């Protein structure tokens, strides 16, 4: 079993920053960036779980749900990752998304 702690920690930090961000920051793109990350993490989890199946897209539940959406998505992904390289790649995606979100 692969250690996904670095990934869950990175997402927990990003989610905490989103929850603490003012509404204006969320509206200026932080929430959209988080949703894009959640959708990418979900897509990756689905591809590993059901190769070849048409991926389902995570719905937009609103800017105040963005932190919860990335948390759910990463926990789903963490269950199906099989090597450290996949974990490292996902941590990189989280870091880049958080940087673009500005939180």
Q: Give pLDDT tens digits for 15-44.
A: 999 999 999 999 999 999 999 999 999 999
pLDDT digits (tens, 9 = 90+) for 55-91: 899 999 999 999 999 999 999 999 999 999 999 999 9
The C-alpha atoms of residue 101 and residue 92 are separated, in whole angstroms, by 14
94 and 11 Cβ atoms separated by less than 8 Å: yes
């Amino acid at each position: 079993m692969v250690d996904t702690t670095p990934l869950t920690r990175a997402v927990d930090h990003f989610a905490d920053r989103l929850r603490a961000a003012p509404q204006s920051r969320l509206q200026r793109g932080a929430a959209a960036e988080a949703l894009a990350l959640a959708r990418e993490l979900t897509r990756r989890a689905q591809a590993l779980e059901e190769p070849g199946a048409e991926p389902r897209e995570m719905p937009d539940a609103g800017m105040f749900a963005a932190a919860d959406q990335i948390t759910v998505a990463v926990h789903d992904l963490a269950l199906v990752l099989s090597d450290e390289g996949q974990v490292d790649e996902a941590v990189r995606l989280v870091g880049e998304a958080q940087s673009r979100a500005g939180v």
